[in-house]
Amino acid sequence: MRSYSLIAPAKINLYLEIIGSRPDGYHELAMILQSIDLSDQIDIHASSTENIRVYCDHPQVPIDQSNLVYKAAALMAREFPKAFSNFGGVDITIKKHIPVAAGLAGGSSNAAAVLVGMDLLWNLGLTQSELEELGASLGSDVPFCIGGGTAIATGRGEQLSPLQSLDNLHIVLAKYRSLEVSTPWAYKTYRQQFGVNYIQDSEGLAARASAFHSEDMVKAILNKNTENIAQKLHNDLEKVVLPAYPQVWQLRELFASQPGVLGTMMSGSGPSVFAIVESQNQGQIVKERIREAIPDEDLELFVTHTIKHGIKIAQ
């Protein structure tokens, strides 16, 4: 039986701005997405049946049809029925390292790995653009997770403009295992509180998304200026998540008070919080200080760094 093992990296948001409402009900966004060296492994095996079976070593991850990994495999079966008929179903094993329900696109990255893996398994020869188009039907983060690196994301997050990739940012990441923030709740609450400020017309939405390509955060990334990147971190969703989740607010404030932390922010809709630090060694020091300040075993802490790639075959 043929099989592939793929590395599926997490992502953080370096910037997240909510511009307005789209006709399809989603929000129009302007974001900068960044892959980090914290990854799951996805093993895909061809089976002799017509079934799609999902396995995972993490008790919080569903292994039924609600899992985005299952949905990705089912999508490939529908889109390429001849290949499905020829090669049969797949067994997919998820080896989790990315925290669950963390605002780090772990599920989206896993689904992206399934699209890439089944393309290889079935000898489809799809381009990255074709894979991204398939991924967009599964979720807004899936297209980015395929190629990864550093990118501007507009629309609902699926319209990507790659930037020169960053591989020089050292990151400390924290997430309470038992704490989850509903992404739909975060966006709905933001709309209720700040929707009066939304750009309403399509021309205005397009103009704001276009203007974002030349703003200060993009320039800082192009210049690979770590301090400027850290100073320009921005996430609109902090306005609603931090007041509602004191633990996340406390974590962010604690990061901000640490020597060597250049900037800190919640990623996506949370509840993960990350800090940009000067070096890996400084990251270890900050991690130890956070652990001393919050000795709660429920708090997961990671020292990682930004990377240039998305899904890749495991070595």
263 carries a ligand binding annotation: no
Is 160 known as a binding-site position? Answer: no
Q: Say if residue 104 carries a ligand binding annotation.
A: yes
Burial of 13 (0-12, 13-18, 19+ CB in 10 A): buried
Q: Would you call 93 helix, strand, or coil by DSSP?
A: strand
Q: How many CB atoms lie within 10 A of CB 82?
A: 8
Q: Is residue 156 within 8 Å of 22, Cβ to Cβ?
A: yes
Q: Is 184 annotated as a binding residue?
A: no
Residue 216 annotated to the active site: no
Strand residue runs (E) in 184-272: 234-235, 261-266
Distance CA 187, CA 199 (A): 16
> Strand 234-235 relative to strand 3-21: parallel, antiparallel, unpaired?
parallel
Is 308 an active-site residue? no
Question: Counting Cβ atoms within 10 Å, is residue 240 exposed (0-12), middle (13-18) or buried (19+)?
Answer: buried
The reply, when asked if residue 85 is annotated as ligand binding, is no
Does 111 appear as a known binding residue?
Answer: no
Q: Say if residue 125 carries a ligand binding annotation.
A: no
Cβ burial of 155 (10 Å; 0-12, 13-18, 19+) is buried
Residue 102 near residue 272 (C-beta atoms within 8 A): yes
Catalytic residue among 40, 91, 119, 141: 141
89 annotated as ligand-binding: no
- The annotation status of 182 as a binding-site residue, yes or no, is no
Query: According to the annotation, is 99 in a ligand binding site?
Result: yes
Find out whether 105 is annotated in a ligand binding site.
yes
CA-atom Rg of the chain in angstroms: 19
From the candidates 11, 175, 232, 287, give the one annotated as an active-site residue.
11
Question: 270's torsion region: left (phi>0), alpha (psi -120 to 50) or beta?
Answer: left
Which residues are designated catalytic?
A: 11, 141
Task: Please enumerate, by residue number, every residue annotated as part of a binding site for ATP.
Answer: 99-109
Task: Please enumerate, by residue number, every residue annotated as part of a binding site.
Answer: 99-109
